[in-house]
A and B are shown apart, each in its own frame.
Chain A
Amino acid sequence: MDPRETKIYIALLIGIIVFLVLVAFFVVTIIRYQRKKVSFHTQKIKAEYDFLDKERKRIAADLHDRVGGSISAVKIHLQCLTSLEGRNSEIVSNSEKQIDDIMNDVRRISFNMMPVILKQKGLDEAFREMIDRFTADIGIHVDYRYGIESFPDDKTIHLYLVAQEIMNNVIKHSRATHVLFSVSQIKKKTVLHIKDNGIGFNKNMTPYSGKGLGLYNISSRAELLHATIYLTTKPNKGADYFIEIPV
């Protein structure tokens, strides 16, 4: 072979190698950047939620200890008024009724913000109580099953609030009469499965409506659990939320 030809081939080969290295470097950089972006995004969400959850806890506790305590104190003081007659008796009894309403509101708001029971008794009990509260006054039957042995402590709040958000949707919008609510272990994953027989909805129609906000909350919380959400629903076909969380 002509030495000049060889030189050209070598130069070409070097050129190709350099080009490939450059491309590889470029690709690796992009992948790295993407990964960083994703992890930064997750971290940001986590930080936001950590802050939010701390605030929720503080407000719930304040409502519980201060407002709740004071309201019941006012009520008991009113009960000290005895031998009331006519209009006065009516005023006191109306005030007592109004106090009851305020108390129920405070109780509901505080529990929705942060159930004290979650920390004290764990997920199973907290879920039971949540379902009881959701179904207390309405004719909806929830078939509840809990079959996991443990769940990481720092993540229980997210799982709990994801479930609460879903149940909120079900109770407020679905008009369901039966709900299946199960937490189970499937292979190496924890599965939260909530399924109702209600009116369902069109997934594509809801992203920014009121209900969409609920779905957004569900998916961003779920992200912190590295969970995968499978939502199956159609108008008049109920809704099926199947959420897989790697453990």
Chain B
Amino acid sequence: MMDAEKIKVILADDHDLYRDGLKLLLGNDNNIKLLGEASNGRQLIQLTQQYHPDVILTDLSMPGISGIEAIKEICKTGKQRIIVLSFFESESMIVQALESGAIGYLNKNAQRGEVIEAIKSVYDHIPYYCSTTNTRLARRISQSAFNPYNHTDPHLFSEKEKEIIRLICAEKSSEEIGKILFMSKRTVDGIRGRLLEKMNVRTTAGMVIYAIKNSIYSLSPEEPANKL
């Protein structure tokens, strides 16, 4: 592949060993070209202004200017395709990073293939949440100011599909959904795959966020009170 067609990436992380690993991993992929690497927020801002990458991968906690501050600064001049990397950072920091302008989230404990998948997804302007994003975090993201999804045509989904979306949001497995709706697990899985395509999302977390943002599924503001 010609260099010009490759996805140009900049990465920032203060952990040298991790950054080296990431570099090696990106080097293995013919579609990606690493333009530069930073070990703090200030360097990341400089490199971004200098090289205008397609995709930025950044850690959140770095010395000096943090990842979140850097994201805010970088997004001042217009939207950028940013993926945040986090390990221990709390969920609220991830939400904050997404509100600040990132559109992808990768846990540093991401599974094989996820890093590359995230870069390609975000390059195509499709939000990405890695597989460790559970429904709980997805709900929190959906309640935040972060909203990458345009409003959908209400007729895009059939009633049956909406039913399945709601059950997925309620953390039901394909098997459980099958039992509730009298379908086989395979049918549910098939519909699930079609839904991911229709919504243009990659993971279940993406589906939950999409569904809540488009009012297909609603969270009750207060969980029902408990009988003790």
Q: Do A and B bind each other?
A: yes
Nearest residue, chain B, Cβ from A176: B228
Contact at A69–B90, with CB atoms within 8 Å? no
* In the complex, B109 has a CB within 8 A of chain A: yes
Indicate the member of B88, B112, B227 with the most A CB atoms within 10 Å. Answer: B88
Q: Number of residues in B with C-beta < 8 Å to the partner?
A: 29
- A72, B85: Cα distance in complex, Å: 11
In the bound complex, residues from chain A placing their C-beta under 8 Å from that of B93 are 117, 120
Contact at B87–A121, with CB atoms within 8 Å? no
* In the complex, B225 has a CB within 8 A of chain A: yes
* In the complex, A54 has a CB within 8 A of chain B: no
In the bound complex, residues from chain A placing their C-beta under 8 Å from that of B89 are 116
In the bound complex, residues from chain B placing their C-beta under 8 Å from that of A75 are 21, 109
Of the residues A77, A110, A132, A143, contact of B226 by C-beta under 8 Å: A143
Of the residues B18, B90, B134, B223, contact of A73 by C-beta under 8 Å: B18
Nearest residue, chain A, Cβ from B87: A68
* In the complex, A125 has a CB within 8 A of chain B: yes
- Interface residues in B61-118 by Cβ distance below 8 A to A read 87-93, 108-109, 111-113, 115
Contact at B18–A76, with CB atoms within 8 Å? yes
In the bound complex, residues from chain A placing their C-beta under 8 Å from that of B225 are 143
Indicate the member of B20, B93, B112, B136 with the most A CB atoms within 10 Å. Answer: B112
Contact at A64–B226, with CB atoms within 8 Å? no
- A2, B21: Cα distance in complex, Å: 110
Of the residues B17, B21, B87, B226, contact of A141 by C-beta under 8 Å: B226
Indicate the member of A69, A72, A77, A121 with the most B CB atoms within 10 Å. Answer: A72
Contact at B112–A72, with CB atoms within 8 Å? no
Nearest residue, chain B, Cβ from A129: B90
- A77, B15: Cα distance in complex, Å: 13
Tell me the dominant secondary structure on chain A's binding face: helix
* In the complex, B156 has a CB within 8 A of chain A: no
- A115, B227: Cα distance in complex, Å: 30
Quote the shortest CB–CB distance from B144 to chain A (angstroms): 13
Quote the shortest CB–CB distance from A5 to chain B (angstroms): 77
In the bound complex, residues from chain A placing their C-beta under 8 Å from that of B22 are 76
- A132, B223: Cα distance in complex, Å: 14
Quote the shortest CB–CB distance from A198 to chain B (angstroms): 10
- Interface residues in A77-129 by Cβ distance below 8 A to B read 77, 79-80, 82, 96, 99-100, 103, 107, 110-111, 115-117, 120-121, 125, 129
Number of A-B residue pairs having CB atoms within 8 Å of each other in the complex: 92
- A68, B226: Cα distance in complex, Å: 38
- Interface residues in A37-95 by Cβ distance below 8 A to B read 64-65, 68-70, 72-77, 79-80, 82
Nearest residue, chain B, Cβ from A180: B228
In the bound complex, residues from chain B placing their C-beta under 8 Å from that of A136 are 134, 136
Contact at A100–B109, with CB atoms within 8 Å? yes
Using A79-B25, A80-B24 as known contacts, say yes or no to A72 and B90 having CB atoms under 8 A apart.
no
* In the complex, A178 has a CB within 8 A of chain B: yes
Contact at A107–B226, with CB atoms within 8 Å? no
In the bound complex, residues from chain A placing their C-beta under 8 Å from that of B46 are none
Contact at A195–B92, with CB atoms within 8 Å? no
Contact at B17–A120, with CB atoms within 8 Å? no
Contact at B228–A64, with CB atoms within 8 Å? no
Of the residues B17, B28, B112, contact of A96 by C-beta under 8 Å: B112
Contact at B21–A197, with CB atoms within 8 Å? no
In the bound complex, residues from chain B placing their C-beta under 8 Å from that of A200 are none
- A64, B89: Cα distance in complex, Å: 9
Nearest residue, chain A, Cβ from B132: A100
In the bound complex, residues from chain B placing their C-beta under 8 Å from that of A143 are 223, 225-226
Nearest residue, chain B, Cβ from A115: B90
List 26 contacting pairs A-B, 8 Å CB cutoff, sorted by A. Answer: A64-B88, A69-B15, A69-B108, A72-B15, A72-B87, A72-B109, A73-B15, A75-B21, A76-B18, A76-B21, A76-B24, A79-B112, A79-B115, A115-B90, A117-B90, A120-B90, A120-B92, A120-B93, A125-B92, A132-B136, A136-B134, A141-B226, A143-B223, A180-B228, A196-B228, A197-B228
Other than the given A72-B109, A73-B15, 15 more pairs (CB < 8 A) read A69-B15, A70-B15, A70-B17, A73-B17, A76-B108, A77-B20, A79-B21, A80-B21, A80-B24, A82-B28, A141-B223, A143-B225, A143-B226, A195-B228, A196-B228
Kindly list the 7 A-B residue pairs having the minimum CB-CB distance in the complex, ordered from nearest: A76-B21, A73-B17, A72-B108, A69-B15, A73-B18, A117-B90, A178-B226
